[in-house]
Amino acid sequence: MCFFRKKNRTPKYNNFPDSWKDLLKTHLPFYRSLNSEDKESFETRILQFLNTTKITGIKTIVEDGDRVLIGASAIVPIFAFPNWEYHNLQEVLLYPKHFDENYKIGSKSKAILGMVGYGYMEGKMILSKYSLWHGFKNQTDKQNTAIHEFVHLLDKSDGDIDGVLGTIREKELTLPWINLMDAKIQEIREAKSDIRNYGGTSREEFLAVTSEYFFERPKLLEKKHPVLYEYMELMFGQKLADRNLAKKAKVTQHWDPCPCESGKKFRSCCNRI
């Protein structure tokens, strides 16, 4: 496997604070579904990522929550492979919101939410802070921009972004996978699929978009696209449909609108019963 190699830098983060764990419990069903030993491993690998990858804010302040979610996005796709690290990433640039192909923030001409760099931007990834948090706050829309971009990095690790990961090449399933991708892309283009339209633009985008689906709604993917789900399992080495990735139930606070839809605050309505 040529995707990853170790990077040696002076550690900046040596422990995983409880506040970071609480953040993951709140926003990442993947983390909540892990047993205690795997949670500890997940935390250790986030620290390892943060100690080897620079995160820089561009016209925004990088806060601990940003770092934790970026680190989590990096580890989720490679969690089944304990010795893997991203060798093709040195820095993540965090923008406050969307940008265009010229990296202009808030451009009205085009709204890019994430990008893997090329040319003089090689070794860098750009993420929108807004889309980073949205990907973890909405756990049912089958979208997560940060995971999408890290899957692109995995795809790029063998030299080409072509929608075929090294795990598929090793299992000699490249041709069947390409045939499946092409068939599914055609379904998207014919509006016969629940996979996001952007996945129909190319094989590499199909892989990234479907990976978002796999990590956010694995049981739904297995139900609607069973063969595709099996390939995702093979690629990432994770049987996610067998795990409880249900969205955490929202606790109604006193000041929230009452769930009974009376129009009153919860404290003045059903909370008094």
CATH number at residue 105: 1.10.472.150
Q: Give the residue from 28, 8, 106, 13 showing the smallest Cα distance to 69.
A: 28
Single-letter amino acid, residue 93: L
For the chain, what percent of residues have pLDDT higher than 90? 62
Write down the pTM of the prediction: 0.84
Highest mean pLDDT out of 95-109, 120-134, 180-194: 180-194
Report the length, in residues, of the chain: 273
Overall domain count for the chain: 2
Q: What is the mean pLDDT of residues 114-126?
A: 83
Residues 102 and 169 placed together within one structural domain of the fold: no
Helices then strands, counting H and E runs in the chain, come out as: 11, 4
Tell me, what's the pLDDT at 102?
A: 76
Tell me, what's the pLDDT at 67?
A: 96
- Lowest mean pLDDT across 18-32, 138-152, 194-208, 259-273: 259-273
Residue 2 pLDDT exceeds 50: no
Give the structural domain span for 51: 1-142
Tell me, what's the pLDDT at 257?
A: 60
Tell me, what's the pLDDT at 254?
A: 59
- Would 234 be classed as within a structural domain? yes
Residues 4 and 133 placed together within one structural domain of the fold: yes
Strand pairing category for 114-116 and 124-128: antiparallel
Residues 52 and 174 placed together within one structural domain of the fold: no
> What digits encode the pLDDT tens for the residues 227-247?
999 999 999 999 998 887 765
Q: What is the mean pLDDT of residues 193-201?
A: 96
Residue 4 pLDDT exceeds 70: no
- Would 62 be classed as within a structural domain? yes
Q: Kindly list the distances between the CA atom of residue 28 and the CA atoms of 73, 88, 181, in Å, as whole numbers in the listed order.
A: 10, 25, 28
| Neighbour tally for 95: CB within 10 Å | 25
